[in-house]
């Protein structure tokens, strides 16, 4: 089973409401995804929120595909209380993305986590800094090239020199 | 100090609460900016318990990762496990057999009670009502014994497997669960006597840490917090899973969204959980506990997001498969993380003592916040 073309009610609404925007609609296991160009994501999500009733940002995360030119796929999961429906918005970015904190205040920590773990910089974020790792941490652990276990040579040299 | 300055200069005070503070429920650090007793702003510093759970997930097989999820919200390990199993089951197109679904509901609801009891006891303790803790832990002990009898572990249970149940029910399971339900409702009335009618308890919670429904939706807040703000929304009703549509239960809500409402909502949820368990324990179907699941799980290329109503709120798993035995990406949508984000908004203008009350009614587990 693979991703299929999705032409549900919401897909038709978005096509009609955002005529100039290039959108790709996919369905997999009954779940829906809209793929968009990174530049169009804030407008798409604002439209989903204001015109389609998707007033809840459930989650924001990223997936790393190092072989792609725009290696990070950002995945926004939205929910509508009125329609009891979920939709995912996905986009590909190289290193920068627009912050959605003005649309959903809850995007604040979620964007900080993606920045911390993947190194994606969200322009327009009010206070973009690491959230789970210490401020002086180097690297972004959820990037694929980051090994799962590696000794911290610098820390060992600084603290355990006698060994 | 020079002569021109007032000897009673009232500058802003920065107070560091935590990370080693018993009332922060783990290793939460809050930087409070204070004007006297009043909180001008608050900033949460988290991550002290970060173990890279999502990175571990990418380096284990689907089955190997299952025990790790128990270590996030470790007081509700059964709920974590159910969410993960449901997500992988959806990805591989397997449904747990009816017997497994009912047993899962019983154990998850027992775990919800255990989680809420731990919340109630520690929350009351934070606010100076020490007695409640001894009562709630007495009842929680009975629940942990049931888990121990079922799977050998009390806390990080790994109770379920992808495809159903690994363990058959032990002799006397139904009786033990029914006996717990029987004894628990009178105990709930005892808590009412201890706390609900207590004017100090009421005074500490009423109108403290108000969170409106609009705030909740904007900040991604779910679970009892959202319901206390008046939104009748529970994933068990909105998008039922594991057969929740078969059970009759109410979704308790509050009106003001203050700490008192959150307290009342959770207490009411305890009663509803008992109602669900009583219905389920009478109707455990016979049959296999496990569906047919291949020994080596290799889901087709694709992605799913599956979420369940954990005791703290919407717990979601977003799994991307690249067709190999290991997930390409496992994302956990932790309810505690997003609920905690609302703290600065809830404590603005409150007193320092109220911050403790608000942390208590948030019901966060730092293991889940930091993962």
The pLDDT tens digits for A12-61 are 888 888 888 888 888 898 899 999 999 999 999 999 999 888 999 999 99
Q: Is B83 exposed, middle or buried (0-12, 13-18, 19+ CB in 10 A)?
A: buried
* Owning domain of residue B311: 54-370
SS3 B282: coil
Q: Does B241 touch chain A (CB under 8 A)?
A: no
CA dihedral defined by B189, B23, B343, B311, rounded to 10 degrees? -40
- Cα separation, B96 vs B142, in Å, equals 27
Q: How far is CA A159 from CA A104, A137, A156, B207, in A?
A: 43, 16, 5, 50
Which residues of chain B have a CB within 8 Å of the CB of A105? Answer: 218-219
SS3 B269: helix
Mutate to test the interface with A, among B218, B226, B251, B314 (most CBs of A within 10 A): B218
Find the CB nearest B238 among A75, A84, A88.
A84
Residue whose C-alpha is closest to residue B217's, from A65, A78, A156, A15: A78
Which residues of chain B have a CB within 8 Å of the CB of A142? Answer: 54-55, 58
For A90, nearest residue in chain B (alpha carbons)? B303
Q: Which two tokens stand for residue B323?
A: 């067709």
Q: Is A138 exposed, middle or buried (0-12, 13-18, 19+ CB in 10 A)?
A: exposed
Q: What are phi and psi of B332, to 5 degrees?
A: -105, 130
pLDDT digits (tens, 9 = 90+) for A114-159: 999 999 999 999 999 999 988 888 889 899 888 887 767 777 777 7
Are A59 and B219 inside 8 Å of each other by CB? Answer: no
Looking at residue B339, its pLDDT comes to 92
pTM (two decimals): 0.88
Which residues of chain A have a CB within 8 Å of the CB of B220? Answer: 56-59, 104, 106, 110
CATH number of A4-159: 3.30.460.80
Which residues of chain B have a CB within 8 Å of the CB of A108? Answer: 341
Mutate to test the interface with A, among B29, B47, B245, B345 (most CBs of A within 10 A): B47
Which residues of chain A have a CB within 8 Å of the CB of B217? Answer: 55-56, 81
Q: Which two tokens stand for residue B38?
A: 């009043």
Looking at residue B6, its pLDDT comes to 60
Is the pLDDT score of A6 beyond 70?
Answer: yes
Is the pLDDT score of A85 beyond 70?
Answer: yes
* Interface contacts (A, B; CB < 8 Å): 95
Which residue shows structure tokens 């809209």? A34
For B343, nearest residue in chain A (alpha carbons)? A106
Digit-by-digit pLDDT tens for chain B (371 residues) are 444 556 666 678 888 887 877 777 778 889 988 888 888 889 999 988 888 899 999 999 999 999 999 988 888 899 999 999 999 999 999 999 999 999 999 999 999 999 999 999 999 888 888 888 899 999 999 999 999 999 888 888 888 989 889 888 988 999 999 999 999 999 988 888 888 888 888 888 988 889 999 999 999 999 999 999 999 999 998 999 999 999 999 999 988 889 999 999 999 999 999 999 999 998 899 989 888 888 888 898 989 999 999 999 999 999 999 989 999 999 999 999 999 999 999 998 889 889 988 988 888 888 888 88
Rama region for B172: left / alpha / beta (φ>0; ψ in -120 to 50; rest): left
Which residue shows structure tokens 């897909």? A11
Can you give the CATH number for the domain in which B132 is found? 1.10.645.10
Which residue shows structure tokens 């790792």? A133
For residue A73, what is the enclosing H or E element? Answer: strand A72-80
Contact by Cβ (8 Å): B29, B42: no
- Cα separation, B204 vs B367, in Å, equals 27
Looking at residue B2, its pLDDT comes to 47
Q: Which two tokens stand for residue B126?
A: 């934070």
Q: Which two tokens stand for residue A140?
A: 């972004």
* CB neighbour list of residue A9: distance below 8 Å, 6 or more residues apart: none
Find the CB nearest A105 among B219, B300, B314.
B219
Which residue shows structure tokens 């020490």? B130
For A145, nearest residue in chain B (alpha carbons)? B55
Looking at residue A14, its pLDDT comes to 84
Give the angle B164-B165-B171 at the CA atoms, nearest 5°.
145
Edge-first strand order for the sheet with B38-45 is B13-17, B29-35, B38-45
SS3 A54: coil
Work out how many domains chain B is built from and give that number.
Answer: 1
Find the CB nearest A148 among B55, B93, B318.
B55
Which residue shows structure tokens 């959150």? B262
Residue A129: count of CB within 10 angstroms of its CB: 9
Which residues of chain A have a CB within 8 Å of the CB of B367? Answer: none
């Amino acid at each position: 089973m693979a991703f299929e073309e999705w032409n549900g009610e919401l897909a038709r609404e978005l096509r009609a409401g955002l005529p100039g925007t290039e959108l790709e609609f996919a369905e997999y296991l009954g779940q829906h995804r809209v793929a968009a160009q990174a530049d169009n994501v804030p407008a798409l999500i604002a439209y989903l929120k204001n015109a389609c009733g998707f007033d809840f940002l459930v989650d924001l995360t990223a997936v790393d595909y190092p072989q792609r030119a725009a290696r990070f796929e950002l995945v926004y999961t939205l929910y509508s209380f009125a329609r009891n429906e979920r939709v995912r918005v996905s986009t590909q970015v190289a290193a920068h993305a627009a912050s959605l904190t003005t649309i959903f205040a809850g995007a604040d920590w979620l964007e900080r986590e993606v920045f911390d773990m993947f190194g994606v910089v969200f322009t327009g974020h009010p206070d973009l800094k690491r959230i789970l790792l210490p401020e002086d941490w180097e690297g972004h652990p959820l990037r694929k090239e980051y090994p799962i276990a590696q000794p911290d040579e610098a820390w060992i040299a600084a603290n355990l020199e006698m060994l | 100090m020079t002569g021109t300055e007032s000897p009673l200069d009232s500058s802003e005070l920065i107070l560091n609460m935590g990370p080693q503070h018993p009332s922060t429920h783990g290793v939460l650090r809050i930087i409070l900016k204070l004007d006297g007793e009043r909180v001008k702003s608050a900033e949460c510093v988290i991550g002290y318990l970060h173990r890279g759970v999502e990175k571990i997930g990418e380096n284990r097989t689907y089955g190997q990762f299952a025990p790790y999820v128990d270590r996030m919200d470790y007081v509700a390990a059964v709920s974590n496990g159910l969410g993960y199993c449901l997500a992988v089951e959806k990805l591989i197109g397997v449904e747990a057999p009816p017997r497994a679904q009912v047993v899962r509901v019983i154990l998850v609801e027992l775990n919800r009670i255990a989680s809420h009891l731990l919340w109630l006891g520690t929350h009351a303790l934070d606010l100076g009502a020490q007695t409640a803790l001894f009562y709630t832990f007495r009842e929680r002990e009975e629940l942990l014994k049931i888990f121990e009898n079922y799977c050998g572990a009390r806390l990080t249970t790994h109770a379920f497997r992808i495809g159903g149940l690994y363990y058959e029910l032990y002799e006397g399971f139904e009786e033990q669960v029914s006996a717990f339900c029987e004894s628990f409702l009178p105990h709930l009335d005892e808590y009412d006597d201890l706390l609900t009618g207590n004017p100090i308890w009421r005074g500490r919670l009423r109108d403290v840490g108000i969170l409106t429904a609009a705030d909740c939706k904007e900040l991604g807040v779910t679970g009892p917090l959202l319901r206390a703000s008046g939104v009748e929304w529970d994933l068990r009703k909105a998008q039922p899973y594991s057969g929740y549509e078969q059970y009759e239960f109410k979704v308790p809500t509050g009106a003001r969204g203050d700490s008192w409402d959150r307290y009342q909502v959770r207490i009411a949820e305890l009663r509803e959980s008992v109602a669900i368990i009583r219905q389920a324990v009478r109707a455990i179907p016979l049959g296999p506990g496990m569906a047919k699941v291949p020994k080596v799980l290799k889901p087709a290329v694709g992605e799913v997001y599956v979420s369940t109503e954990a005791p703290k709120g919407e717990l979601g798993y977003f799994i991307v498969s690249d067709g190999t035995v290991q997930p390409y990406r496992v994302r956990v949508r932790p309810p505690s993380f997003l609920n905690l984000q609302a703290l600065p908004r809830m404590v603005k203008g409150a007193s320092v003592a109220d911050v403790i009350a608000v942390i208590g009614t948030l019901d966060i587990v730092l293991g889940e916040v930091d993962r």
